[in-house]
Amino acid sequence: MTPQADPPIDTAIVAVPETGGGALYGMVDMLSAAGTLWHDLVGSVPSRPLFRPRIVACRRDAFRCTHGVPVVPDGSIDDDFAPDIVIVPELWQPPGTGLRDAYPELGAWLRARHTDGSLIYSSCTGAILLAASGLLDGRTATSHWAYEGHFHERFAAVDFVSESSVIAADPSGRIVTAGGSTSWQDLALHIVARHGGAEEALRLAKGSLLRWHDEGQRPYAALVQRRAHDDAIVAAVEDWLEGNHAGNHALSGAVALSGLAERTLKRRFKRATGTSLIERIQCLRIEEAKRRLEMGVEPVESISLAVGYENTSFFGRLFKRLTGTTPGTYRRMFQPIARAGEVPATAR
């Protein structure tokens, strides 16, 4: 007698008006394809759906999420539905804007699902809803790299790690968060591998042309994020450094411009911006190096000298510390994107 196959895993994918439509429906597509895609493509394995994804919203009414994408929920959080898995996709909300108190009923539902045993996953800024619910208090989490300051300011009880692509909140793995925007793809592969096996995750990746971002978020992150403050002198120094960070006298020039003692400027700069003056100069230089690596074929030694470092070895170590990768690897990652608009070569 043929053994009975396990039923598909009930999976709730949460949607609110701020949800990113691409991540929402991409996750629906990916989980729906798990267990069936490889069979449809090559026919060498049995076809068995592994997940039963449903879009769940605060209400059953249809609505439009970010960029006008229509959403027709399969159910609401008021339904008698106990999913095995709950996924909160990304939200399109600029850093500093708040969803902390926007959906209290959703926060209560997420807490209840966790208490009842559901595994909770989020991708990108979906972690904001988990943090607002209190589920991440005292736990480790990640989100898009640009929201690190947002988490520190609004969710101080969360141990925020910006470098990771996918990270468990604690050793139990009952809550897992994923990093930047397209990290939902990494999250989908994690979920499929965890619940459907490594072979199926590999089939899904190959069938969908996905890759795992094992380099994490650091190569993608902007090293300089200017934040609002009311120190006019520091703001003037920031403006001046934008065009004068590569010279040998960047620090002394900034001090001279400020009219303050060096120690005083350093203290005020740190207080106003959250970063030290030396760190800002270094980050500006590495950002310039990143741009040169992305856009041209200039040798690394020449780039090092152009951004202010005569010692190429020191430049390489600093670059890797700040970006998580070497200059050469960075160029290979991003230069093809800079050329993506070129007319493709004609096949022979």
pLDDT per position in the chain (348 positions), as tens?
444 568 999 999 999 999 999 999 999 999 999 999 989 898 877 889 999 999 999 999 999 999 999 999 999 999 998 999 999 999 988 887 666 677 899 999 999 999 999 999 999 999 999 999 999 999 999 999 888 888 988 899 999 998 778 899 989 999 999 987 678 899 999 999 999 999 999 999 999 988 888 778 888 888 988 888 999 999 999 999 999 999 889 999 999 999 999 999 999 999 999 899 999 999 999 999 999 999 988 999 999 999 999 999 999 999 999 999 999 999 998 888 887 777 776 655
Q: What is the pLDDT of residues 314-339, one digit of tens each?
A: 999 999 999 999 999 999 988 888 87
Per the confidence metrics, is the pTM higher than 0.75?
yes
- The class that CATH gives domain 232-338 is mainly alpha
DSSP 202-248: HHHHHHHT----TT-SGGGS-S------S-HHHHHHHHHHHHHSSST
List the Cα angle 53/54/60 in 5-degree steps.
175
Q: Residue 86 and residue 89: Cα distance in Å, rounded?
A: 10
pLDDT of residue 81: 87
* Fold (topology level) of 9-220: Rossmann fold (3.40.50)
pLDDT of residue 336: 86
pLDDT of residue 2: 42
pLDDT of residue 100: 64
pLDDT of residue 4: 54
How does the average pLDDT of the chain come out, rounded? Answer: 90
Residues in a beta bridge with 177: 122, 167
CATH 1.10.10.60 residue ranges of the chain are 232-338
CATH 3.40.50.880 residue ranges of the chain are 9-220
Asked if 167 and 161 touch (Cβ cutoff 8 Å), the reply is yes
C-beta atoms surrounding 343 within 10 Å: 5
Q: Considering only CA atoms, which of 28, 320, 57, 21 is closest in space to residue 181? A: 21
pLDDT of residue 99: 65
Cα distances from 107 to residues 85, 135, 175, 195, 260, in angstroms, run 16, 9, 14, 25, 48
pLDDT of residue 72: 95
